[in-house]
Amino acid sequence: MKHGWLHQKSIVVIGGTSGMGLAAALSFIEEGANVVAVGLDEAGCREAAGRFNNQGVTICADATEPLTAVKAIKTCAQTFGSFDGLYHVAGGSGRKMGDGPLHELTLNGWNKTFELNLTSLMLSNQAAVKWWLEHEKPGTLLNMSSVLGVSPSSAYFATHAYAACKAAVAGFTRSVAAYYAKNNIRVNAIAPALVETPMAQRAATNEAIMSFVKTKQPLDGGRIGNANDLNGLACYFMSDHSKFTTAQIVYVDGGWGVSDGQIANF
């Protein structure tokens, strides 16, 4: 892009050292922002830090821990002199923890999936809002939802706790946006369909799922999403171009929500 949309902005990206979060962090830096990226994997944090140059730092921490976002925001303000926005990308599949169709879903799978995808998001949003209220500053929050929160795929993506979490992100985002609009704190969300990230490798390497995706996400020749497909919208929400926009859930889904898709042998 390189429009300088984020000049003098300082942004925290929770889940910013891999996948969609890393792509966004690099795009924010390209647009002139300073970035603090939080990641769980130490090697990923080191690799990301090497790509940020002097415009970004990384923190290796667990997004589900209550003080992680607090530390990231404090680091952002102290290192770069301000804290203007937070993008929460951290989350993931709970399939290995017991998420799945309702008749197979375990209580542990339910709880862990919610902790990973919703509790972590609440904690980061809460820390950001508290900082802006305390410092009497405006700010912008951007959350990560999913098309699966409103448009399920019963054949290939039947993880019901995950779908519930992503639907809840939309409701949470709108409710928080309504309450804090008077404080000039904006809250929005991006809802992608299937994007090629470390989380999506099960789907990305499955021939049947990729055949389905070709017709379910028909834009641009029918393909799986790329992490960079979300960057333009993320930069918009982090910038002053969106200063009159709040409580929006925007789907970046390649047409998923309006396409039937083709399922063989279901």
% of the chain with per-residue pLDDT over 90? 89
pLDDT at 204: 80
Is 70 exceeded by the pLDDT of residue 1? Answer: no
Residue 222 confidence (pLDDT) above 80: yes
The answer to whether the beta carbons of residues 213 and 155 sit under 8 Å apart is: no
Instruction: Say which DSSP state 118 is in.
Output: I
Distance in angstroms (rounded) separating the CA atoms of residues 129 and 186 = 10
Residue 264 has pLDDT above 60, yes or no: no
Residues 6+ apart with CB under 8 A from 221: none
Whether residue 266 has pLDDT greater than 50: no
Region 2-27 average pLDDT: 95
Residue 263 — very low, low, confident or very high, per pLDDT cuts 50/70/90? low
Burial 173-205 (b: 16+ CB within 10 A, else e): bbebbeebeeeebbbbbbbbbbbbbebbeebbe
Structural domains of the chain in order of their starting residue, each with its CATH number: 10-253 (3.40.50.720)
Residue 196 has a pLDDT of 87
Average pLDDT, the chain: 95
| Whole-number pLDDT of residue 201 | 80
Instruction: With a cut of 90, say whether residue 265 has pLDDT above it.
Output: no
Contact 56, 37 (CB under 8 A): yes
pLDDT at 260: 85
Give the pLDDT score at 262. Answer: 74
Task: Summarize the confidence of residues 182-197 as an average pLDDT.
Answer: 95
User: pLDDT at residue 171 above 60?
Assistant: yes
Q: How many CA atoms lie within 13 Å of 256's alpha carbon, on the beta-carbon side?
A: 23
pLDDT over 80 at 194, yes or no: yes
Burial letters for 71-85: b for 16+ Cβ neighbours within 10 Å, e otherwise? bbbbbbbeebebbbb
Q: Mean pLDDT, to the nearest integer, of 209-221?
A: 93
Q: Show the tokens assigned to 175.
A: 């409710």
Q: What is the pLDDT of residues 53-65, one digit of tens each?
A: 899 999 999 999 9
116-168 pLDDT, tens per residue?
999 999 999 999 999 999 999 999 999 999 999 999 999 899 999 999 999 99
State the average pLDDT over residues 14-38: 97
Fill in the DSSP letter of residue 17.
Answer: S
* pLDDT for the residue 197: 79
